Amino acid sequence: MDKPVLSIRHISKSFPGVAALQDVSAELCPGEVLGLVGENGAGKSTLIKIVTGAIQPDQGEILINGTTVAHADPFDLISLGVSAIYQEFSLFPEMSVAENLFYGQELRAGPFLKRKEMVHQSRQLLERVGTNISPEKLVKELSVGHQQLVELAKAISRQAKVLIMDEPSAPLTTHEVEFLYQAVRKLSAEGVAIIYVSHRLEEVFDLCSRVMVLRDGQHVETGPVSDFDRGRLIELMVGRTLEQEFPPGMVKLGDVRMEVRHLKSADVQDVSFSVRSGEIVGLGGLVGAGRTETVRLIMGADRLISGEILVDGVAQSVRSPQHAISLGIGLIPEDRKHQGVLLGETIRFNTTYASLGKFSQAGFMDNQKERKAVEAAMKVLRVRATDMEQLVGNLSGGNQQKIVLAKWLETDADILIFDEPTRGIDVGAKQEIYNLMRELSAAGKAIIMISSEMPELMGMSDRIIVISDGCSVAELSKQEFDQARILHLASTGSREAQKEAEAAC
Amino acid sequence: MLNILSKYGIYAALIILILVFSLASEAFLTQINILNVLRQVSIVGICAVGMTFIIITGGIDLSVGSMIGLSGMILATLVSMGYDPLLAFGVTMLVGSLLGLLTGGIINSIGIPPLIATLGMMTILRGMAYVISGGLPIYGIPDSIKWLGQGYVAGIPVPVILMAIVFVVGWIVLTRTVFGRQVYGVGGNDEASRLSGVDGNRVRYYVYFLGYALATFAGIILMARINSGQPRAGTNYELDIITAVVLGGVSIMGGIGSLPRVFAGVLIMGILANGMVLMNVNEFVQWVVKGTVLLAAVSLDRLAHRAKGHGSN
């Protein structure tokens, strides 16, 4: 075996109230891809921050090529060959690819930039990650997938020997993930050692040679990927056996709670469907097909050009989110951090924020009533937090999602729209969200769910509406669920529908 | 550590400042001088309350000093023309508040950033203050109005009492009411607020209405104290007001702030000015000190933020 390029020895780190890491050790050899998995809060981020020098461990040491690194900051570690890329990009959209790659390390002749040389070297860097995009293009003109590759090229531009990839595939489409795979394989063949963090376990099996499981800040197991299967990996991550992943649906459905007919807006062409009390209706389709835009219309967040929204059989012109809320509609948005929660406010603040009227008299907050309700909601939804005064920004993704849900339960919403309900949420918390959705539908709520994860869409939905190019093109009952068919409809459905429409004219 | 510093540092700074000046000058910690400092900060203090609301929503008001000047001119003109002081007071308050709604409207419906919208208003309102009298001061203020700036109740200057009332009411509104919640919510995340059914535009209308109303009120008190409508009145006050608010820990990014700390910020600004006068510090040097204090306060705020960012997992 090669000599390890990175050794992590007995690292411990505590934050006030939590032991984030306890006595964790690992070794990484050149060319190796190590999968790092664990639930949110397991200590993955802390470990990464320690390895990149963003924070200092309380105990233990980091060795690079056998030499101890002490009190190094991120700049020191970059110069030692440790780079990291994250799911959120750090590129400048208005600058060219080459300018981004050499930002902060520009090649110069005196005060002047050596543009040609930088473009030339950029091309070589981009080739190393397996792409031939032009270095002179502006970053904002690139697809998200290509931007991720630029990010990768930037990370290796300073002779990286160790590359840490934290959820690199999160913003990418299935197609774009392929490019990422190729780039990772290419770099590993060149001898770059990679730590790959992902919630998507398939990627770990596809890419990694070894996998390391963390749970509650402790090292659980490390071994060759071939020693694990998906079920065992999940068990090790959550520390218990999981029940059936998707809880079964209701037998008896209630009345139609909401129906939309021929919705049309700037981004939606023609969408119609209905949802019953006790039912979960899944909206399937490709990213950008207009599913999020459709539910935003129902929520009154965007302007409707034509079409009807019926709640309990009565046509409503939903003018604003306030109006939608008064009709009993609630939206758990896809972009949780920017649209779902107020990160800088407390659990208490967030939970009652959409139902302040209920917790006030003559404009004055009834603090006692509020506290009681928040306490009860935290119990029902099993929110894991120190107390209700904790900032939502400090919670894990799963717990943040529960707070968004709590907010809508306080408004007594009974038409709930989940847009990608488990995005960025780890395995154990995913299960909890699924169970909660089922509990809610069993209690008679009508649920609309957008999901781009096929197993989730087919496992959770009682019925699936396929949306393609802004049109609802098909409706599938549970017996008709079929991954290939859904994908086919999602990619070609609108063209067929268009043909039909033309024929009708 | 930095967390505690950002939470209570302002009070510690206030106490240290008081200790330093009371050692440096015997005249500092006397009853007369304390009341004097409080009266001097009352104009800035009243406006700081409105500014706090505005900045918490993520906005800013550069026109506050001009509004102070204009409101004094309007009231002085009306009473010098022989109108009933109470009626004139009401009209002035109405005009000032409506100007606040206008500014809110410019920001909401046209979408001009608050910095630019209020920069424009700052110039317009100052110009109007000069236009009213052709740039001349207006005298002949009746005693009933003068009382607002010069009167005493139980030995305490009226402006100080008014400032205290404004702070207490503002604090109650911000911490105990639905509206207060919405002010923080809109500043914290406008889009999430909108999707939660909180109309950010409505909240913005209210805070600019409030800010301008308080600036108008403060302008009237200032005019009453200096016995005349001066078109220059309130010039550069926006600097002191924003400094005091930011010093009090209100985040210029919105969403964060508390009035008790803003009050401490107002006192620090007032005590600095007063103490430096007592110690015969040159006025120009005072400017340097004030600006330095502002930057130090914001630096502290940023450092605390950064420390927090690293602490969370």
pLDDT band, residue A224 (cuts 50/70/90): very high
Q: Does A331 touch chain B (CB under 8 A)?
A: yes
Q: Which residues contact B194 (CB under 8 A, 6 or more apart)?
A: A301, A321, B200
Nearest to A292 by CA among A422, A493, A445, A470: A470
Q: How far is CA A105 from the centre of its chain?
A: 32
Place of tokens 């070609």: A492
d(CA A311, CA A325): 12
Q: How far is CA B233 from the centre of its chain?
A: 15
CATH architecture of A252-328+414-505: 3-Layer(aba) Sandwich (3.40)
> What pLDDT is stored for residue B102 in this prediction?
97
Beta carbon pairs, A and B, within 8 Å: 90
d(CA A318, CA A297): 8
Among the partner residues B178, B180, B195, nearest to A321 by beta-carbon distance: B195
Q: How far is CA B38 from the centre of its chain?
A: 14
Instruction: Give the least confident one: A20-29, A66-75, B96-105, B293-302.
Output: B293-302
Angle at B173 between CA A344 and CA A322, to 5 degrees: 65
pLDDT band, residue A128 (cuts 50/70/90): confident
pLDDT digits (tens, 9 = 90+) for B187-199: 999 999 999 999 9
* Closest CA in chain B for residue A300: B195
CB-facing half-sphere around the CA of B244: CA atoms within 13 A: 31
What is the CB neighbour count within 10 angstroms for residue B141?
Answer: 24
Among the partner residues B177, B194, B311, nearest to A364 by beta-carbon distance: B177
Q: In the predicted model, what is the mean pLDDT of residues A199-206?
A: 85
Total domains present in chain B: 1
Question: Cβ–Cβ of B197/A342 closer than 8 Å?
Answer: no
- Kindly report, as residue ranges, where domains of CATH 3.40.50.300 are found in chain A: 6-238, 252-328+414-505
pLDDT band, residue A213 (cuts 50/70/90): very high
**Distance, in angstroms, between B41 CA and closest chain A CA?**
30
A69-89 burial string, b = 16+ CB within 10 Å, else e? beebeeeebbebbbbbbbbeb
Structure tokens belonging to residue A422: 């488990």
Which 8-state DSSP code applies to residue A40? T
Question: Is A262 strand, coil or helix?
Answer: strand
The C-alpha torsion from A276 through A277 and A282 to A287, rounded to 10°, is 100
To the question of pTM greater than 0.90 for the whole model, the response is no
Share of chain B above pLDDT 70, in %: 94
d(CA B242, CA B51): 7
Residue with more model confidence, A14 or A364: A364
A291-300 burial string, b = 16+ CB within 10 Å, else e? bbbbbbbbbb
Highest mean pLDDT among A12-16, A100-104, A236-240, B297-301: A100-104
pLDDT digits (tens, 9 = 90+) for B208-260: 999 999 999 999 999 999 999 999 999 999 999 999 999 998 988 899 999 99
Which 8-state DSSP code applies to residue B196? T
Q: Does any domain span residue B270?
A: yes
In Å, what is the CA distance from B141 to each residue of A174, B87, B126, B130, B221?
76, 14, 21, 18, 12
> What pLDDT is stored for residue A250 in this prediction?
66
pLDDT score of B3 more than 70: no
Which residues of chain B does A345 touch, with a Cβ-Cβ cutoff of 8 Å? 184-185, 188, 255
Q: Which residues contact A51 (CB under 8 A, 6 or more apart)?
A: A6, A8, A62, A77, A82, A162, A164, A195
What is the CB neighbour count within 10 angstroms for residue B157?
Answer: 20
> What pLDDT is stored for residue A428 in this prediction?
77
Residue with more model confidence, B69 or A109: B69
> What pLDDT is stored for residue A364 in this prediction?
95
> What pLDDT is stored for residue A96 in this prediction?
93
Q: In the predicted model, what is the mean pLDDT of residues A10-36?
A: 88
Strands A108-109 and A112-113, by their bridges, are: antiparallel
Which residues of chain A does B311 touch, with a Cβ-Cβ cutoff of 8 Å? 15-16
pLDDT band, residue B296 (cuts 50/70/90): confident
> What pLDDT is stored for residue A495 in this prediction?
53
pLDDT score of A202 more than 50: yes
Among the partner residues B188, B191, B199, nearest to A339 by beta-carbon distance: B191
What's the mean per-residue pLDDT of chain B? 92
CATH for A6-238, among 3.40.50.300, 3.30.930.10, 3.30.70.2190, 3.40.225.10? 3.40.50.300
Question: Cβ–Cβ of B185/A342 closer than 8 Å?
Answer: yes
pLDDT score of B309 more than 50: no
Residue with more model confidence, A410 or B307: A410
Angle at A424 between CA A423 and CA A425, to 5 degrees: 90
Question: Is A468 strand, coil or helix?
Answer: strand
> What pLDDT is stored for residue A167 in this prediction?
84
Question: Cβ–Cβ of A331/B195 closer than 8 Å?
Answer: yes
Q: In the predicted model, what is the mean pLDDT of residues B279-301?
A: 84
Q: What is the ipTM of this complex?
A: 0.86
pLDDT score of A130 more than 90: no
> What pLDDT is stored for residue B312 in this prediction?
35
By residue count, chain B amounts to 313
d(CA B59, CA B128): 24
pLDDT digits (tens, 9 = 90+) for A335-381: 898 899 999 999 999 999 999 999 999 999 999 999 999 999 999 99
> What pLDDT is stored for residue A242 in this prediction?
57
Domain span at residue B55?
2-305
DSSP conformation letters of B15-71: HHHHHHHHHH-TTTTSHHHHHHHHHHHHHHHHHHHHHHHHHHTT---TTHHHHHHHH
pLDDT score of B311 more than 50: no
CB-facing half-sphere around the CA of A187: CA atoms within 13 A: 32
Structure tokens belonging to residue A183: 């780039």
> What pLDDT is stored for residue B313 in this prediction?
32
**Distance, in angstroms, between A25 CA and closest chain B CA?**
19
Q: In the predicted model, what is the mean pLDDT of residues A101-129?
A: 88
Q: Does A19 touch chain B (CB under 8 A)?
A: no
> What pLDDT is stored for residue B305 in this prediction?
64
Which residues of chain B does A361 touch, with a Cβ-Cβ cutoff of 8 Å? none
> What pLDDT is stored for residue B179 in this prediction?
96
* Closest CA in chain A for residue B179: A363
Q: At what angle do helices B31-56 and B178-188 cross, to 10 degrees?
A: 60
Nearest to A159 by CA among A116, A121, A195: A121
Q: Does any domain span residue B95?
A: yes
Probe site for chain B from A48, A352, A356, A407 (most B CB atoms < 10 A):
A356
What's the mean per-residue pLDDT of chain A? 88
pLDDT score of B119 more than 80: yes
Chain A (293-312) residues lying within 8 Å, Cβ to Cβ, of chain B:
299, 301
pLDDT score of A272 more than 70: yes
A449 strand-pairing partners: A282, A418
Question: Cβ–Cβ of A333/B179 closer than 8 Å?
Answer: no
> What pLDDT is stored for residue A241 in this prediction?
62
d(CA B269, CA A207): 60
pLDDT digits (tens, 9 = 90+) for B30-60: 999 999 999 999 999 999 999 999 999 999 9
Assign residue B217 the CATH number of its domain: 1.10.3470
**Distance, in angstroms, between B191 CA and closest chain A CA?**
6
> What pLDDT is stored for residue B306 in this prediction?
67
Which residues of chain A does B176 touch, with a Cβ-Cβ cutoff of 8 Å? 364-365
> What pLDDT is stored for residue A200 in this prediction?
79
Instruction: Give the least confident one: A251-255, B85-89, B306-310.
Output: B306-310
Share of chain A above pLDDT 70, in %: 94
pLDDT band, residue A497 (cuts 50/70/90): low
> What pLDDT is stored for residue B47 in this prediction?
98
> What pLDDT is stored for residue B310 in this prediction?
41
What is the CB neighbour count within 10 angstroms for residue A420?
Answer: 21
pLDDT digits (tens, 9 = 90+) for A134-188: 999 999 888 888 888 898 898 888 788 999 998 888 777 767 788 888 889 989 9
Question: Cβ–Cβ of B192/A339 closer than 8 Å?
Answer: yes
pLDDT band, residue A77 (cuts 50/70/90): confident
pLDDT score of A49 more than 50: yes
pLDDT digits (tens, 9 = 90+) for A378-415: 999 989 888 999 999 988 888 999 999 999 999 999 99
> What pLDDT is stored for residue A20 in this prediction?
82
Q: In the predicted model, what is the mean pLDDT of residues A281-305?
A: 91
Give backbone dihedrals phi and psi of A318, rounded to 5 degrees, phi first.
-80, 105
Burial class (CB in 10 A: 0-12, 13-18, 19+), A3: exposed
Under 8 Å between Cβ of B10 and B248 = yes
Among the partner residues B178, B256, B311, nearest to A356 by beta-carbon distance: B178
Q: In the predicted model, what is the mean pLDDT of residues A284-291?
A: 84
B77-86 burial string, b = 16+ CB within 10 Å, else e? bbbbeeeebe
